[in-house]
Structure formats: structure tokens, C-alpha cells
């Protein structure tokens, strides 16, 4: 409970940080809604490819922020982040190889 009050008290005087958090929350809520609720011809419709691309970018951003916090503020070089990121990449690669099915590795169209 003490850490929650510390974060709230630290953000109390930071208007730029509060606006950034508000913008991130609005984007996290509105962008998926624009994908699911709006028809595909609507000018504000967000394509599924864009949503998946944003997910990839956000995962890289989370890795960068975690490394910055651990290495920059604490001075600890953590190779565990890289290990978990590599494990996630390997699991995704294996999942995609399973999705190929009967077509083979190079996507034989026949």
C-alpha cells in the first residue's frame, strides 16, 4: 500500500507525466475499439495489421524500458531480460512454423 501512495505522490506535481499516462490509456482503449466497432470503410477504422504491429512495437518498448530501469537507475546488468525476450521469440517462431502445416517451410503453393 505504501508503494501506491508513493507513486501517486510522485506523479502529483508532474503535469507532463500525467498527460502522457492519460494519452497512453486513451490510446490503449480507443485503438482496439476503433478496430472492432467501426466498419472497415470508416475513416477512423484501424486495420488488424496495424494493431498487431503496435503490439510488436509495444513489446520492444517494454523491453527497452525494463532494461533502462534496471541498468540505468540500479546499475545492474540483467541478462534475464534478454533470455526471456529470446524465449518469447523462439516460442513465436515455433508457433508460426506449426501454422505452416502441409505447405512446408517455404510455402509451396501447390
Is 83 exposed, middle or buried, given 0-12, 13-18 or 19+ CB atoms closer than 10 A? exposed
53 and 25 inside one domain: no
57 and 106 inside one domain: yes
41 and 57 inside one domain: no
| Residue range 81-103, pLDDT digits in tens | 778 888 888 998 888 877 776 66
> Quick check: 59 pLDDT over 60?
yes
3 and 24 inside one domain: yes
62 and 29 inside one domain: no
88 and 35 inside one domain: no
If one counts the domains in the chain, the total is 2
Domain extent, residue 63, equals 47-110
- pTM of the predicted structure, to 2 decimals: 0.54
**Cα dihedral 7, 8, 13, 14 sign:** positive
Amino acid at each position: 500500500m505504501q508503494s501506491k501512495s508513493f507513486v501517486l505522490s510522485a506523479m502529483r506535481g508532474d503535469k507532463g507525466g500525467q498527460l502522457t499516462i492519460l494519452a497512453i490509456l486513451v490510446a490503449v482503449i480507443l485503438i482496439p475499439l476503433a478496430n472492432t466497432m467501426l466498419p472497415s470503410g470508416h475513416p477512423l477504422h484501424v486495420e488488424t495489421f496495424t494493431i498487431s504491429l503496435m503490439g510488436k512495437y509495444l513489446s520492444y518498448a517494454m523491453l527497452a524500458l525494463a532494461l533502462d530501469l534496471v541498468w540505468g537507475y540500479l546499475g545492474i546488468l540483467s541478462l534475464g531480460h534478454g533470455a526471456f525476450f529470446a524465449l518469447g521469440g523462439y516460442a513465436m517462431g515455433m508457433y508460426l512454423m506449426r501454422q505452416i502445416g502441409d505447405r512446408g517451410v517455404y510455402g509451396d503453393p501447390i
